[in-house]
Structure 1
């Protein structure tokens, strides 16, 4: 039995690195930052965080609590 991905690779070769999005680094959590991603820079530590991870970063590093108003 042949695996379709192996057959495809043998037929056309590996994907070109140029076809992949360009990386601009790694954030505090180890997630890749792609060109065009929204990031936040912490001036007191120099850390870079993807904006989607900002709530988690503020909670973990600075102890911020996020709640819904009653």
Structure 2
């Protein structure tokens, strides 16, 4: 005789133990934008703030330098 929890897991699968944040879209580079993420919108494109330097360098031609 199996334990009731084992029977339930076999029947329904493992429960999702972590609440997943709500998905709010995909940024220019294909990264998920989740609730609470900061992003910018430029010309209809969404870019996560974490990807902003990459976007500016690769797509806009900005050069980042240190004095």
| Partner residue, 2:37 | 37
What 5-or-longer segments of structure 2 have no aligned partner? 1-8
- Normalised TM-score (structure 2): 0.74
Deviations 1:19-50 (A, max 9, x none): 211100000000000001000111xx210000
TM-score by length of 1: 0.71
Please state whether the residue corresponding to 1:33 is helix, strand or coil.
strand
Q: Which runs of 4+ in 1 moved over 3 A?
A: 9-12
Structure 1 gaps, min length 5 = 1-8
Provide the residue aligned with 2:25 in structure 1: 25
In terms of fraction of residues, the more helix-rich structure is: 1
**RMSD between aligned alpha carbons?**
2.2
Whose Rg is larger? 2
- Count of residues in Structure 1 that have an aligned counterpart in Structure 2: 58
